[in-house]
Amino acid sequence: MLELKNVTKYFGKVRAAENISFALNKGEVFGFIGPNGAGKSTTIRMIIGALKPTHGEIEYAGGNIKKDKKYIENIAYVPGDVNLWGNLTGEEVINFMMKTRKFKNTDEKLRLIEKFKLDGRKKCKTYSKGNRQKVALISAFLSDAELLIFDEPTTGLDPLMERVFHEEVIKAKEAGKTILLSSHILSEVEKLADRIAIIRDGKIIESGSLKELRHITRMEYIIETADDITALKHRDFVHEFTESDDGYHLFIDNDRVPEFLKYLKLYNLKNLTTAPPRLEDIFMRYYEGAE
Ligand SMILES: Nc1ncnc2c1ncn2[C@@H]1O[C@H](COP(=O)(O)OP(=O)(O)OP(=O)(O)O)[C@@H](O)[C@H]1O
């Protein structure tokens, strides 16, 4: 549905995005993650046509976006920091959006206002960041756009509202919408995304499904044994060795597992469990790698 081909953006000498390439399939949730200043917003602003790439191409439904601007009507975009017309109420802003999009389902509007617990009668200038975000999120979920783009959508929301956001993303996906979700909240992306791309310093450093990305990190092992296995701590493939009530916890490099298993044979184990790595572990490794 959307494809970026070697998209690059320079602001003067600052390289905000370099050779960004990825494609979104219709009906998927695509997570775009990276630390502050990595280039997520710049990339998104190029997708919505607010910035012109220095190099590279962006295609939407097979057409080049430089030539055909009509594709923008098929995108609903919620920026990280939402600005609204201060003198309109939240509901007036939502009504305005519905009118411009010729969307008439007021029951759905009321459902979303109720679900996001928005007081739509207050003027937007009195709203907190979270309330402004709610107005934009409700408008996006109400729109008939086929691609929904959320840039750090839950930074102003409390955990209950975050959950509402997650539920609505899943609903939108079930309705066949495509979702680009930019975030540095890894658990959010992990829960929702079918595939992810990790961006850092303007470059995509890894992309794929979570399952595909798990190979690049360490697995955690929890060992229950009456034996003293602290000698393992000194092996170079063992990391973060700790002792807890439920056993010894340690992380093992995935490519060194056969060696690890050989060592394990030296002990009498009561139980051995493993935990798949979280996106956070993958991400932290990239963080650490740069320092
Ligand atoms: N208009 C601009 N002029 C100059 N430099 C810019 C501009 N916009 C972004 N940058 C720079 O480009 C880089 C990428 O910024 P961008 O906002 O895309 O990152 P981000 O991943 O969205 O981060 P954040 O989560 O903090 O918004 C940063 O170094 C930023 O300072």
**What is the pLDDT, as a whole number, of residue 175?**
95
Q: Show which of 196, 214, 232 is a domain's final residue.
A: 214
Instruction: Looking at the CA of residue 184, tell me the nearest atom of ligand 1.
Output: 25
Q: Looking at the structure, do residues 267 and 200 belong to the same domain, yes or no?
A: no
Task: Give the ipTM.
Answer: 0.90
Residue 237's domain is classified under what CATH number?
3.30.70.920
Segment 223-274, tens digit of pLDDT = 999 999 999 999 999 988 999 999 999 989 878 899 999 999 999 999 999 9
Q: Is the CB of 272 under 6 A from ligand 1?
A: no
Q: Show which of 192, 214, 236 is a domain's final residue.
A: 214
Residue of 7, 11, 33, 198 with the most ligand 1 atoms within 8 Å of its CB, for mutation? 11
Question: Given 3-state DSSP classes, what are the helix, strand and coil percentages for the chain, each rounded to the nearest 5?
Answer: 40, 30, 30
Q: Looking at the structure, do residues 107 and 232 belong to the same domain, yes or no?
A: no
Q: Looking at the structure, do residues 97 and 241 belong to the same domain, yes or no?
A: no
Segment 39-60, tens digit of pLDDT = 999 999 999 999 999 999 999 8
Q: Looking at the structure, do residues 40 and 142 belong to the same domain, yes or no?
A: yes
Q: Looking at the structure, do residues 234 and 189 belong to the same domain, yes or no?
A: no
Backbone angles phi, psi at 51, to 5 degrees: -130, 150
88 CA distance to ligand 1 middle (Å): 30
Measured CA to CA, the distance from residue 140 to residue 91 in angstroms comes to: 13
Q: In whole angstroms, how far apart are CA 81 and each of 135, 142, 156?
A: 12, 19, 9
Instruction: Looking at the CA of residue 42, tell me the nearest atom of ligand 1.
Output: 18
pLDDT at 35 over 70: yes
**What is the pLDDT, as a whole number, of residue 210?**
75
pLDDT at 165 over 90: yes
pLDDT band of 209, cuts 50, 70, 90: confident
Q: In whole angstroms, how far apart are CA 175 and each of 1, 18, 76, 143, 222?
A: 16, 33, 15, 12, 41
pTM (2 d.p.)? 0.82
Q: Is the CB of 50 under 6 A from ligand 1?
A: no
Domain count, the chain: 2
Range of the domain at 135: 2-214
Q: Looking at the structure, do residues 127 and 247 belong to the same domain, yes or no?
A: no
Q: Looking at the structure, do residues 61 and 181 belong to the same domain, yes or no?
A: yes
Contacts of 66 (CB under 8 A, 6+ apart): 57, 58
Residue 79's domain is classified under what CATH number?
3.40.50.300
Q: In whole angstroms, how far apart are CA 231 and each of 44, 199, 216, 234?
A: 49, 38, 26, 6
Q: Looking at the structure, do residues 153 and 284 belong to the same domain, yes or no?
A: no
Concatenated DSSP letters of 102-157? T---HHHHHHHHHHTT--TTSBGGG--HHHHHHHHHHHHHHS--SEEEEESTTTT-
Mean local confidence (pLDDT), 25-31: 95
For the beta carbon of residue 134, count every other beta carbon within 10 angstroms: 28
Radius of gyration from C-alpha coordinates of the chain: 23
For the beta carbon of residue 195, count every other beta carbon within 10 angstroms: 19
Q: Is the CB of 11 under 6 A from ligand 1?
A: yes
What is the rounded average pLDDT for all residues in the chain? 89
Q: Looking at the structure, do residues 280 and 210 belong to the same domain, yes or no?
A: no
Q: Looking at the structure, do residues 207 and 110 belong to the same domain, yes or no?
A: yes
* Token pair 């962006």 in the structure block, residue: 58
Amino acid residing at 286? Y
pLDDT at 190 over 60: yes
Half-sphere exposure of 33 (CA within 13 A, CB side): 27
Instruction: Looking at the CA of residue 11, tell me the nearest atom of ligand 1.
Output: 4
Q: Looking at the structure, do residues 156 and 221 belong to the same domain, yes or no?
A: no
**What is the pLDDT, as a whole number, of residue 291?**
41
For the beta sheet containing 178-183, the strands, ordered from the edge strand earlier in sequence to the opposite edge, are: 75-78, 147-151, 178-183, 29-33, 195-200, 203-209
Mean local confidence (pLDDT), 130-145: 93
In the DSSP assignment, the letter for residue 256 is G
Q: Show which of 214, 242, 261 is a domain's final residue.
A: 214
Q: Looking at the structure, do residues 76 and 207 belong to the same domain, yes or no?
A: yes
